Amino acid sequence: MADARIGEIRRRIGLAVATASATLLIVVVTGWWRDVWIDGALAAGAVVLLVGISIWLGHALAGLDLDQRRAVAAETRVRDAIESLSDGLLLWDADDRLVMANPAMTRAEARRGFAQQTPLELGATFEALIRRRVQSGLLAIASGTEERYIEHRVALHRHPTGEPIEERYASGDWVRVTERRTSDGGVVTIVTDITDLKRAEAEMRYVNEQLAAQAEGMVAAADRLREVNREAEAARIAAEEANRSKSEFLTTMSHELRTPLTAVLGFADVIINPIFGAETPEQFREYGGYIKASGEHLLLLINDMLDLAKIEAGRMELREADTSLDSAVRAVLAMTKERAHNQGVAVTWRAPSEPILLRVDEIKLKQALINVVANAIKFTPAHGRIAIDVEATEATVDIRVADTGIGIKPEDIPKVFEPYTQIDSAVASQHRGTGLGMPLALSLMQLHGGTVLIESEVGVGTTVTLRLPATRRVPELAAAS
């Protein structure tokens, strides 16, 4: 366009200069200047003037050539920029006819199938092109709304505001259309592919919906958890109250039973060992022995129940003192000697080479050890062995009671520490009891900050460890003194 305009200007200037030069030459040669009384000097000046005009026109034409090159370069840069755009670009003239489509737009049209069915024809109006596109079915438009869509779209095109319009194709692609008015009354249309953006938005919406659903689920779970916690707290309070009531009942009953039982034991002693001078028949003394043995057994069970109830109620207190472990173990051996002899079981104590002094409640420690040793004697057949030893480390003091008894199944070991629970076995059924010995031993050790451990193998034997923390051990210097 710039080349054509500049070429026309050059042609017209050249024609004018040629005409003027020819006219002046005829005037001079024919002598017409004499007829019109023109002076020769004036004619020469006219020639000089004409030559000057020619020179000026030559410079002007050279300037026009420079402007032409600059205009061509600018037009080339603009065209290159348009062709290198990644977005599609359409240019419409003032009559709303298509005058240009850049390569990106042409490629996008071919990819979406428009190039085959509704190609971009230069010179076609916007309304004609949009109508063909709607009729092709390549635009995602609800059935029955085609004409309304065409009217709306043409109105936006003829009065562009620069606000983007989003359109969806039947293929699932999305584009953003931005239109602006040009200075010559035309319209420039920019078409940007936003398919990936829409997919990302859809994925983000899906993720947000999932997160919202999870959040709702978590809120519901939290509500359920709070409800369960309230129920658990209510159950805990009820259980503690029931446990307190049980402990108070056992304490009351134990005291009520111990009072008459003490009298029964006293009268049994009178029958066995008469103190009023009269000789008691042998059979009566035998009956008295049965009464005393049964009474003492019953008293032991009542004492265990009372002690366990006190521990559960939190009313058991330790009277701690420095206690020799060797003396405590030997006292336990003395108290269980007769029972071991009657069972035919040998009980040995491997005393440590260095004396061990413990800061404990001696009576409670002996009670726990008696329960463990009594259990070992009960479940060890005749000619069996029970060995008691101690191992002191930097962390613990372990008192071990190892027997060669019947052993315990691995799945039954936890039951040993359940109050009032008897392990189902042929030997256990022969030795009735309340099932309080081991639970009480564990509770007494826990009062000292320790615990009870069990290792057992059926048919081989059982090792019970009374474990105390090393802080219970009195330093050697104090022990020596």
Q: What is the DSSP string of 411-473?
A: GGGGGGGSTT-----HHHHHS---S-HHHHHHHHHHHTT-EEEEEEETTTEEEEEEEEEGGGB
Tell me the percentage of the chain whose pLDDT exceeds 90.
41
Q: Which of the two residues, 327 and 16, has the higher pLDDT score?
A: 327
CA 271 remoteness from chain centre: 77
Predicted TM-score (pTM) of the model is 0.47
pLDDT for the residue numbered 448: 94
CA distance 349 to 381: 19
Choose one of 193, 213, 228: the last residue of a domain: 193
Judge whether 298 lies within some domain. Answer: no
Judge whether 55 lies within some domain. Answer: yes
- Number of domain units in the chain: 4
pLDDT of residue 279 exceeding 60: yes
Closest CA to 114 of 92, 93, 137, 91: 137
User: In terms of domains, do 25 and 113 share one?
Assistant: no
Please give the average per-residue pLDDT across 173-196, as a whole number.
Answer: 92
User: In terms of domains, do 159 and 185 share one?
Assistant: yes
pLDDT for the residue numbered 75: 59
Q: Which of the two residues, 198 and 240, has the higher pLDDT score?
A: 198
Angle at 372 (CA atoms; ends 370, 377), nearest 5 degrees: 90
Residue-wise pLDDT for 250-278, tens only, equals 667 766 777 787 888 787 777 777 766 56
Q: Of 17-21, 98-102, 341-345, which gets the smallest average pLDDT?
A: 17-21
Judge whether 301 lies within some domain. Answer: no
User: In terms of domains, do 63 and 43 share one?
Assistant: yes
As a whole number of angstroms, the longest Cα–Cα distance in the chain is: 200
Judge whether 104 lies within some domain. Answer: yes
Q: Which of the two residues, 275 and 110, has the higher pLDDT score?
A: 110
Asked if 308 and 437 count as a contact pair (C-beta separation under 8 A), the reply is no
Judge whether 307 lies within some domain. Answer: no
Query: What Cα–Cα distance (Å) separates residue 380 from each residue in 247, 428, 429, 432?
Result: 33, 11, 14, 15
User: In terms of domains, do 52 and 136 share one?
Assistant: no
User: In terms of domains, do 335 and 470 share one?
Assistant: yes
CA distance 123 to 93: 9
User: In terms of domains, do 331 and 454 share one?
Assistant: yes
Please give the average per-residue pLDDT across 86-103, as a whole number.
Answer: 90
User: In terms of domains, do 205 and 269 share one?
Assistant: yes
Average pLDDT, the chain: 81
Choose one of 68, 84, 100: the last residue of a domain: 84
Instruction: Find the distance separating the first CA and the last CA of the chain, reported in whole Å.
Output: 121
pLDDT band at 37 (very low <50, low <70, confident <90, very high): very low
User: In terms of domains, do 129 and 185 share one?
Assistant: yes
User: In terms of domains, do 72 and 102 share one?
Assistant: no
Residue-wise pLDDT for 40-57, tens only, equals 555 556 556 666 666 666
pLDDT band at 33 (very low <50, low <70, confident <90, very high): very low
Judge whether 296 lies within some domain. Answer: no
Q: What is the DSSP string of 378-417?
A: HTS-TT-EEEEEEEE-SSEEEEEEEE-S----GGGGGGGG
Domain containing residue 449: CATH number: 3.30.565.10
pLDDT for the residue numbered 265: 78
CA distance 8 to 11: 5
CA-based R_g, the chain, Å? 58
Please give the average per-residue pLDDT across 182-200, as a whole number.
Answer: 91
Q: Of 83-92, 162-171, 191-200, which gets the smallest average pLDDT?
A: 83-92
Cite the beta strand spans of 72-131 per DSSP E: 88-92, 98-101
Tell me the percentage of the chain whose pLDDT exceeds 70.
76
Choose one of 33, 59, 84: the last residue of a domain: 84
Judge whether 445 lies within some domain. Answer: yes
Judge whether 109 lies within some domain. Answer: yes
User: In terms of domains, do 182 and 216 share one?
Assistant: no
pLDDT for the residue numbered 114: 79
Give me the phi and psi of 151, to 5 degrees please. -60, -45
pLDDT of residue 195 exceeding 60: yes
Closest CA to 332 of 343, 324, 342: 324
Non-local (6+) Cβ contacts of 389 within 8 A are 349, 350, 399, 400, 402
Domain containing residue 121: CATH number: 3.30.450.20
Q: Which domain holds residue 70?
A: 2-84
User: In terms of domains, do 132 and 249 share one?
Assistant: no
pLDDT for the residue numbered 70: 67
Residue-wise pLDDT for 387-400, tens only, equals 999 999 999 999 99
Tokens of 219: 């809120």
Non-local (6+) Cβ contacts of 95 within 8 A are 125
User: In terms of domains, do 227 and 351 share one?
Assistant: no
